[in-house]
Amino acid sequence: MLPKWLRVERIVWLAFASALALSGHAFAESTQSNTSVFSPASTPAAQEFQLGLFVFSITAAIFVVVGGLLTYVVIRYRARPGDEQSEPPQVYGSNQVELAWTVIPVLIVVVLFLTTARVIFAIQDAPKPDSALEVTVVGHQYWWEFRYPKQGIDAVNEIHVPLSSADHPAPTYLKLLSADTDHSFWVPRLSGKTDLIPNHPNDLWIEPMQPGLYLGQCAQFCGVQHANMLLRVYVDTPEQFAAWAANQAKPGVQDSSVAAGRHVFETQACMNCHTVKGTAATGRFGPDLTHIMSRDTIASGMIPNTQDNLKAWIKNPDTFKPGCLMPAMQLTDEQIDQVTSYLETLK
């Protein structure tokens, strides 16, 4: 028959072991996610991750030492039967001990601080190479505008950037602005986040080393649809990027077969908010629709760009994104079909 205290201990050990196993599983799972901070694919993200590992190893060591001491104290010095008869020796303090456990943390702080400062300066003050691509990001409630001034491109929500490599570095430097409230640009695998604050331009750079699609989203509460201000970053090979950029720089396709839809677009107030390059539609409040069909998603990464979704969105954006700033324009079903056909020509 085991003593009572050992049984409780077993339960505690079992709980601790399961917690450890669960954490391990959670950790493993988190490294698979496309938004994991533990799988950097870009230079600044990798540097930040290294720092993260370093600080984790130090804090883990501190936890093992202090937590271990606590565990020891809790077991070794618990009251045993008969202890109520007398009090233990009273120890009021020790100056040497206080000094020791002040000096050691100070040393740890010095090491941690210097390491951190080095990474901060390396990332924030990195000199911009001439080969860098420049993109101006403007945050809106609840979508992203990307201007490539040198290429004459106005992209929306889905941003394409070129792949970078050791012999052909091609970082992308983002200038971050806001048209309304605070936002934050966060694509974890590419970089830590930086905020978009009105009247306060910020800078961020990424240097992706692996092609592919990277996901992120706004990370500073900006209003009712903050949750659906999603980001899609396509890291292209140089050829892919050149092709994409060339297409984006073109004005809108003019297809006479969808004249009815274009008429709806231009008379039902769509052009008050939206731009289609090369037409009379020059609205700036909403996203540029010149190349809407070149995007995989609409509503800022929320829903796939399909005909049905487009129609449903135009009919009433609130069905997907209640509270977003695009109103339902009360179009008839025929008008919606026509304007969708028009949009589908804007490749």
Partner 1 sequence: MADSTLPIHGSLDLTPPQEREQNLIEILHSWVITVDHKKLGLLYMIMAIFFLLVAGLEAILIRIQLVVPDNHFVSPATFNRLFTMHGTTMVFLVGMPLVFAWGNYIIPLQIGARDMAFPRLNSFSFWLTFLGGVLLYYSFIGGPGLYGTGSAPDITWWAYAPLTLKAFSPGNAPDYWALALLTTGFGTLGGAINIIATVVSMRCKGMTLMRMPLFCWLLFVDAALILVTITPLTAAQVMLLIDRYLGGHFFDTQAGGSAVIWMHFFWIFGHPEVYVLVFPAFAIASEVIPVFSRKAIFGYPAMVAASVGIAFVSLGVWAHHMFTVGMTSAGNAFFVLSTMLVGIPTGIKIFNWLATMWGGRIRFATPMLFCTAFLFQFLIAGLTGIILSTGAWDWQLHNSYFVPAHFHYVLIGAIVFNVFAGIYYWYPKATGRMMSETLGKWHFWLFLIGFHVTFDTMHFVGFEGMPRWIYTYPADRGWQHLNLVISIGGLIQAVAILVFAWNLISSLFIGKKAGNDPWDAWTLEWITPSPPPVYNFATEPVVHSRRPLWDLKHPEDPDWKYD
C-beta of 79 vs 280, nearer to partner 1: 79
Among 226, 232, 262, 277, binds partner 1 (CB under 8 A): 226
Of the chain, the end-to-end C-alpha distance in Å amounts to: 78
C-beta of 318 vs 334, nearer to partner 1: 318
13: contact with partner 1 by CB under 8 A = no
CB of 128 to partner 1, least distance (A): 15
C-beta of 116 vs 332, nearer to partner 1: 116
CB of 183 to partner 1, least distance (A): 10
C-beta of 38 vs 234, nearer to partner 1: 38
C-beta of 184 vs 338, nearer to partner 1: 184
CB of 174 to partner 1, least distance (A): 12
- Six token digits for residue 334: 């025929």
Q: Are strands 303-304 and 183-186 parallel, antiparallel or unpaired?
A: unpaired
CB of 346 to partner 1, least distance (A): 25
CB of 109 to partner 1, least distance (A): 4
- Choices 102-110, 151-159, 264-272, 304-312; region in contact with partner 1 by CB under 8 A: 102-110
- Choices 107-115, 239-247, 287-295, 328-336; region in contact with partner 1 by CB under 8 A: 107-115
216: contact with partner 1 by CB under 8 A = yes
Chain centre distance of CA 40: 12
Contact 222, 144 (CB under 8 A): no
Rounded CA gap, 49 and 28, in Å? 16
CB of 267 to partner 1, least distance (A): 29
Contact 340, 307 (CB under 8 A): yes
C-beta of 84 vs 333, nearer to partner 1: 84
Q: Are strands 303-304 and 297-298 parallel, antiparallel or unpaired?
A: antiparallel
278: contact with partner 1 by CB under 8 A = no
- Six token digits for residue 46: 């990798």
199: contact with partner 1 by CB under 8 A = yes
Listed residue (144, 237, 165) closest to 207, CA to CA: 165
Sheet of strand 202-206, all strands in order from the earlier edge strand to the far edge: 153-156, 143-148, 133-140, 172-178, 202-206
Rounded CA gap, 290 and 223, in Å? 27
- Six token digits for residue 308: 């049905």
29: contact with partner 1 by CB under 8 A = yes
CB of 103 to partner 1, least distance (A): 10
* Distance set, CA 158 to CA 7, 150, 161, 235 (Å): 57, 18, 10, 11
Binders in 115-174 for partner 1, by CB under 8 A:
115-117, 119-121, 123-125, 141
Contact 174, 9 (CB under 8 A): no
